[in-house]
Amino acid sequence: MTEYLANIIVNGQARPARSGATFAVNNPAHPSEIVGYAPLANVDDVRQAIDAAASAFIGWSALSPFERADYLFRVSQQLGTAQEDVQQRARLFTREHGKTLRETGMELSRLGDRFALAAGQAEQLATDVHLSTPPNDTIITRQPRGVATLIVPWNWPLSILGAKLPQALMGGNTVIVKLAEQCPLASLQTLEIVARVLPPGVMNVIASPPSELGDLLLTDPRIRTINFTGSIAVGKAILKKSADTLKTVTLELGGNDAALVLDDADLNEAAIESLVMGTFLTAGQICMAIKRLYVHRSRYRELLEKFTTAADQWVVGDGLEADVSMGPLNNEQQYKKVLALIADARRRGATVAEVGQIKDQATYNEGYFQRPTIVTNIEQNAPLVWDEQFGPVVPIMPFDTDEEAILLANATEFGLCSSVWTTDSKRAESVARRLQAGVTYLNGHGPTVQDPRAPFGGVKQSGIGRNLGIEGTLGFLEPHSISSPSGWLF
């Protein structure tokens, strides 16, 4: 297959890194295969990107929300045209990431949808609040913060970017996007389309290992806000490095999502498929995936049998194959982490069942593959239960009462997402309100049921602030009060 050569985007131009250096991106299904090369950006490239964004901010922030919405609508239209191009980018994405073509196609289409959704906020953003009672006349409006650094991880880069890039732009900010170096090629190619619609400098994009870029994206005083999605450890480091210049920081960090299957849950075929999808989509490499499955003891055996049977139908292999349900893990480091957690569970005496069908044994042996893995008879304090595994392995554990289920779900440092499965809507809401999480799904779980109009983010160690929804856009804006003596402004 052809090796793709990507560009960074600075001041409206897609170009190589200033040094001319590149780094290879490999296929996790066939690790010896080089998919393409990405520019190895350095501090000089970062400085140029910041210069461009700071210069473009003057004009972009002066536009009305309706004028910026027009740009975003045009971006959405451009991303959705030329299906042959979309299919080509999806194949490139699958080769560098590992996820299936179905998932890469979903991610590519979602980015355009989220630009359109953010553009629809123009009326709300253009409306000021007027306080006209004595002793003052006051207008409460909003101002864009300035240049924003947007940092996205490798697992769902374009989908996650779609929860912050359109919102930052809609709020009048200019941006520097930092893509993960593990799979930047299709994202860089897609964002070239976005850059062609926007004025130069409004969006700049780089993708290199952090060691090449220095700390300018976190410390330059012209950058006023940082929006990061990734690990807790890196999120805390970003918070510390941004402190000297008092930047606004939004952190969407890890999750250890609990799904609670209550005693009256309808465990029909659709529900089981939804539970399995919510667990194993993208080989479990989703912050909002089900990572702990708690089931009422009266339904435990039924759930376990149905869940295992459904997961066993999944086909594991190269994501380019049409009948493959789940590809490999994205990189060797994550692959080894998942294998270590499974090995630890076995050492602790847990029951480990690896299910699913292997498409091709030679490919499976070559790549970073792990079949869907179901673990039972495991203690709550085991690393597989306590940590975020970020892979295709899930512990399934029983509980006896709703109160116990809530306590188990909340007994974690994480608080990103959760779900409640029951036929009683009032009971579902009651349990959901007591779960310590930024999002709780009812009879569903994960990205396929996420409402993009609603804010997304976590509590506790799972983060600070929100993406998506009007709340996500407002996070890129500062309130501005304009006040006079009563009777003078109005």
Question: 47 in a domain, yes or no?
Answer: yes
457 located within any domain: no
Does residue 490 carry a pLDDT above 90?
A: yes
**HEC letters along 189-254:** HHHHHHHHHCCCCCEEEECCCHHHHCCHHHHCCCEEEEEEECCHHHHHHHHHHCHHHCCEEEEECC
Residue whose C-alpha is closest to residue 311's, from 355, 369, 376, 342 = 355
* Residues 41, 207: Cα–Cα separation, whole Å: 7
Residue 287 is among the residues annotated as catalytic for this protein: yes
Decide if 206 is inside a domain. yes
Q: How confident is the model at residue 80 (pLDDT cuts 50, 70, 90)?
A: confident
Question: Residues 69, 158: one domain?
Answer: yes
Residues 156 and 299 grouped into a single domain: no
Q: Residue 239: which H helix or E strand, with range?
A: helix 232-241
Identify whether 19 is part of a domain. Answer: yes
Active site residue 273: no
Q: Name the pLDDT band for 1 (thresholds 50, 70, 90).
A: low
**CA dist., res. 337 & res. 285, Å (int):** 12
Residue type, 176: I
Judge if 213 and 348 occupy the same domain.
Answer: no
Q: Which residues contact 106 (CB under 8 A, 6 or more apart)?
A: 159
Q: How far apart are CA 166 and CA 233, in angstroms?
A: 26
pTM of model > 0.75: yes
Tell me what pLDDT residue 162 has: 97
Same domain membership, residue 318 and residue 191: no
Sign of CA dihedral 229, 231, 232, 237: negative
| 408 and 471 inside one domain | no
> Given 287, 354, 388, 403, which residue is catalytic?
287
Domain housing 101: 4-253+466-481
Mean pLDDT of the region 204-220: 95
Q: 32: left (phi > 0), else alpha (psi -120 to 50), else beta?
A: alpha
**SS3 for 115?**
helix
Residues 237 and 271 in one domain: no
The catalytic residue among 183, 252, 388, 417 is 252
Please tell me the total count of domains within the chain.
Answer: 2
Same domain? For 9 and 58 the reply is yes
Identify residue 135 by its one-letter amino acid code: P
- Structure tokens, 399: 């509980």
| Strand ranges inside 389-454, DSSP E | 393-399, 417-421, 439-442
Residues 90 and 231 in one domain: yes
Residues 312 and 403 in one domain: yes
Question: Which pair of tokens denotes residue 25?
Answer: 């991106």
Reported as type and span, the H/E element at residue 131 is strand 129-131
What tokens were used for 214?
A: 């220095």
3-class DSSP assignment, residue 256? coil
Q: What is the mean pLDDT of the chain?
A: 97
Residues β-bridged to residue 229: 252
Give yes or no: residues 69 and 29 share one domain. Answer: yes
The CATH number of the domain where 406 resides is what?
3.40.309.10
- For the chain, the 3-state helix, strand and coil shares in percent, each to the nearest 5, are 40, 25, 35
Q: Give me the mean pLDDT over the 251-269 stretch.
A: 97
% the chain with pLDDT above 70? 99
The whole-angstrom separation of Cα 78 and Cα 72 is 10
> Which uninterrupted H or E stretch holds 160?
helix 157-161
